[in-house]
């Protein structure tokens, strides 16, 4: 008994120290990113002051790189200083900063504040405001700043923070055109919300992608594998598959057997979405989608709604993943106001940007 109490006590101390170390790492990273933003701002302002000399900016970075490397060691190459400059440019809202600066200059001048103190206080206010939004690592931001479309960049930044994506996961989601795929079935107002708040899951359609990109499975694009092979690889790479499915998914079972009238049926994959509070059933199909596939999924969904769903849970969602589909077959098989059954294509090889854009246009 005493040993158990001691072990529990030791575990609490270990957990506390682990959390403290993690917090230290986050604080150090937060401070570093904030500092790089400030350095980028100072470089931009200094280059603007010397803009009458064409080579001034180039020489400035070379000299600064040499000085900082001598003082602090690695991490201050000309390329990295260029990144800090780009970081500031990409994440600055010039009109807002100008407005803040002008307003404070007027009020502080009237109060008799010196020009030096005035500048210091203005920059401090601006930096503290901007600092509160830097929650990712410097590696994340060096990747994000290469995304020219501001709305798209904002979306990936928000989703990276919300879902704690590693840099590798962020790159994978960007390469698979997640923002574009989610934008496809949304109007302008909903697309704008993606860039302001990320993906907000409120209704079944919010969790659906078309196509799903399953390149992490390592399967060939041709029909040289079976549905069971596809399912087996998904289970083996379940963590990756959950990332592709999106927010709130937890795995429940595979080959879930349901029985009625002495007949047995098996649902390939069963998940639960904690945000929508409902079961999500997935059937895997090789080749062209048939109307029978949608009918079978409708049966599975009806069974779960009537036999498995609790009173406080929402209606079950069914997704048929197929290699190809006819939109006409989907349209005329499913009810007009359908909000439960969906058919989406999947790709087991990451398409080129051109091919992916064409796939999205076809849907």
Reported confidence tier of residue 302, pLDDT bands at 50, 70, 90: very high
Which CATH number describes the domain made up of 204-362? 3.40.1350.10
Asked if pLDDT for residue 142 goes beyond 90, the answer is yes
Q: Is 61 exposed, middle or buried (0-12, 13-18, 19+ CB in 10 A)?
A: buried
What are the two backbone dihedrals, phi and then psi, of residue 238, each rounded to the nearest 5 degrees? -60, -40
Q: Which residue has the higher pLDDT, 275 or 6?
A: 275
- What does the angle CA 136 – CA 138 – CA 139 come to, to the nearest 5 degrees? 100
Tell me what the mean pLDDT of segment 22-49 comes to. Answer: 83
Q: Where are the domains of the chain?
A: 2-136, 147-200, 204-362
Tell me the sheet residues that pair with 341: 318
Residue 84 parent element (H or E): helix 78-91
Q: Where are the beta strands (DSSP E) in the chain?
A: 212-213, 249-260, 263-273, 278-288, 317-324, 341-347
What is the model's pLDDT at position 187? 77
pLDDT band at 253 (very low <50, low <70, confident <90, very high): very high
Residue 10 has pLDDT above 90, yes or no: no
Query: Angle formed by the axes of helices 78-91 and 2-49, to 10°?
Result: 90
| pTM (2 d.p.) | 0.74
C-alpha separations of 153 from 67, 141, 195 in Å: 33, 10, 8
Say how far apart CA 110 and CA 104 lie, in whole Å: 10
Give the pLDDT band of residue 122 (cuts 50, 70, 90).
Answer: very low
Radius of gyration for the alpha carbons in the chain, expressed in angstroms and rounded:
27
Q: How high is the pLDDT of residue 111? A: 44
- Other beta carbons within 10 Å of 144: 21
What does the pLDDT look like over 179-238, one tens digit per residue? 988 887 677 888 888 888 888 888 999 999 988 999 999 888 766 788 999 999 999 999
Return all residues near 339 (Cβ < 8 A) that are at least 6 apart: 203, 204, 205, 315
Q: What is the pLDDT of residue 262?
A: 85
Cα 142 off chain centre by: 16
pLDDT at 234: 95
pLDDT at 52: 54
């Amino acid at each position: 008994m005493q040993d158990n109490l001691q072990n529990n006590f030791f575990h609490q101390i270990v957990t506390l120290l682990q959390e403290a170390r993690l917090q230290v790492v986050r604080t150090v990273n937060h401070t570093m990113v904030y500092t790089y933003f400030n350095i980028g701002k100072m470089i931009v302002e200094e280059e603007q002051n010397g803009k009458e000399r064409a080579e001034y900016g180039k020489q400035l970075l070379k000299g600064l790189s040499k000085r900082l490397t001598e003082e602090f060691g690695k991490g201050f190459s000309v390329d990295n200083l260029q990144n800090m400059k780009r970081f500031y440019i990409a994440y600055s809202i010039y009109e807002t900063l100008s407005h803040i600066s002008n307003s404070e200059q007027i009020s502080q001048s009237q109060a008799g504040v010196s020009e030096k103190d005035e500048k210091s206080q203005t920059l401090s206010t601006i930096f503290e405001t901007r600092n509160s939004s830097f929650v990712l690592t410097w590696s994340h931001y060096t990747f994000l700043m290469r995304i020219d479309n501001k709305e798209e960049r904002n979306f990936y930044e928000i989703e990276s923070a919300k879902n704690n994506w590693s840099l590798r996961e962020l790159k994978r989601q960007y390469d698979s055109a997640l923002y574009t795929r989610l934008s496809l079935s949304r109007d302008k107002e909903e697309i704008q919300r993606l860039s302001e708040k990320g993906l907000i899951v409120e209704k079944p359609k919010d969790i659906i992608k078309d196509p799903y990109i399953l390149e992490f499975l390592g399967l060939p694009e041709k029909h040289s594998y079976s549905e069971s092979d596809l399912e087996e690889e998904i289970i083996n790479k379940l963590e990756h598959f959950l990332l592709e499915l999106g927010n709130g998914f937890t795995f429940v079972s595979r080959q879930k057997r349901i029985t009625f009238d002495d007949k047995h049926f098996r649902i390939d994959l069963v998940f639960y979405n904690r945000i929508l509070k409902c079961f999500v059933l997935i059937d895997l199909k090789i080749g062209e989608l048939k109307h029978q596939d949608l009918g079978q999924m409708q049966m599975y969904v009806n069974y779960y709604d009537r036999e498995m769903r609790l009173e406080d849970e929402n209606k079950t969602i069914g997704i048929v993943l197929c290699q190809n589909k006819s939109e006409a077959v989907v349209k005329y098989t499913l009810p007009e106001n359908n909000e439960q059954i969906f058919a989406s294509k999947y790709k087991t090889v990451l398409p080129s940007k051109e091919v992916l854009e064409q796939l999205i246009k076809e849907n």
